[in-house]
Amino acid sequence: MFNSNTSADTKIAVLEERLSSYELMMKKIDEAIQIMGKTSQNISKMLAVHEEKLDQCNKADDLLSKLIYEMKEEGEQHCSKVSERIDKIEEDIKEIVKFRWMIAGSGVVIAIIITTVTTLASGWWDPMQNEVHHQPHQQQLIK
């Protein structure tokens, strides 16, 4: 490594120079290690904050899922109630229609009965009309 012709002072000077350059490199390596340590701490803090945000998002997602499920249940119950009300109204309408047809049928029957009775009664109660109907028949009998 060293030439034997060089003096001890020169050797010491070269060694001191190398030692100072090694010390400078060690100082820079120590600074780099400290910077990497600080960076690691900052990354750890950022990860912790990120984890907290993820936890909050998960809680919010769970809450939203629960609210959506509850709203779905309410909607289904409301739909069921409305469907039941519509069914009841349809039954009521069917009853009203049935009653209307019964009234219409009764009216037709009453009209037929009144027409029949008035037609039959008009011949019995009106003696003039009765004579008119019988006179041509009697005239035929006389001839």
pLDDT for residue 106: 94
Residue 70 in domain: yes
How many domains in the chain? 1
Q: Which residue has the tokens 């490199």?
A: 25
The residue range of the domain holding 75 is: 8-142
Mean pLDDT, the chain cut into blocks of 10 residues (143 residues total): 68 90 93 95 95 96 96 95 95 94 94 89 61 52 54
pLDDT for residue 70: 96
Residue 3 in domain: no
Between the CA of residue 124 and those of 111, 118, 120, what are the distances in Å?
20, 10, 7
pTM: 0.46
Residue 1 in domain: no
